[in-house]
Amino acid sequence: MSIDDIRNASDATLVVSIGRYHQEALAEAYRRHAGAVFALSRRLLVERALAEEVVQEVFLRLWHHPEKFDPDRGSLRSYLLAQTHGRAVDLLRSEVSRRAREQRDAAATAEGGYDLEHAVVDLAVAEEVRAALESLSPGERRAIELAYFGGHTYREVASLLDEPEGTVKSRIRTGLRRLRGALIDAGIGAP
């Protein structure tokens, strides 16, 4: 594949090419998605060095195990971001970075708790996504933001918001569904 072919290739084709050990294909996947991967990992982990480590891990994993990506189950970007989220949350929950998290939570509390998460989300996401988020009930929105961007379990979210665990659990699910509906209505994401 020439560089131009790679630039025009679909993500699925890139992954097949990565399976054939074409570094240019990995470079192109990196060019397309590493920005989002880094942004998510940075938002979760705050500490730049840790966030960079996650980016590195995620792309090395794609290089060594391209077969783990199944194009029938979603886009390459959502696959990479799910990997990123999982890894970042692992780090976040591990003993080593507990300290960093406490510091971050302290800072967040000082600046108004989850409102900080709100602010970050508002700055970061596209206008359509922001509008879709507005379609959620405040409870759903907080639960999703604290879980996804805060890296909290639903039990932790329940305790942070002082709400029953079962309520938070189902709010995350119904909120995600509603969000998807709103995004489809806004023309983002495939039905």
Among positions 17-76, residues that touch other proteins (CB under 8 A) are 17, 19-24, 26-27, 30-40, 43, 52, 55-56, 59-60, 63, 66-67, 70-75
**Contacts with other proteins in 100-139 (CB under 8 A)?**
121, 123-126, 129, 133
In the list 50, 91, 114, 175, the residue contacting other proteins (rule: CB under 8 A) is 175
Longest C-alpha distance within the chain, in Å? 56
With binding defined as CB under 8 A, does residue 159 bind other proteins?
no
Residue nearer to other proteins on the CB measure, 56 or 110? 56
What's the closest the beta carbon of residue 138 comes to other proteins, in angstroms? 16
With binding defined as CB under 8 A, does residue 153 bind other proteins?
yes
Angle, vertex CA 16, rays to CA 10 and CA 20, nearest 5: 135
With binding defined as CB under 8 A, does residue 161 bind other proteins?
no
- Quick check: 12 and 71 in contact, CB under 8 A? yes
With binding defined as CB under 8 A, does residue 91 bind other proteins?
no
Helices (H), 111-152: 114-124, 127-134, 138-148
Cβ neighbors of 127 (< 8 A, separation 6 or more) are: none
Read off the DSSP letter of residue 67.
G
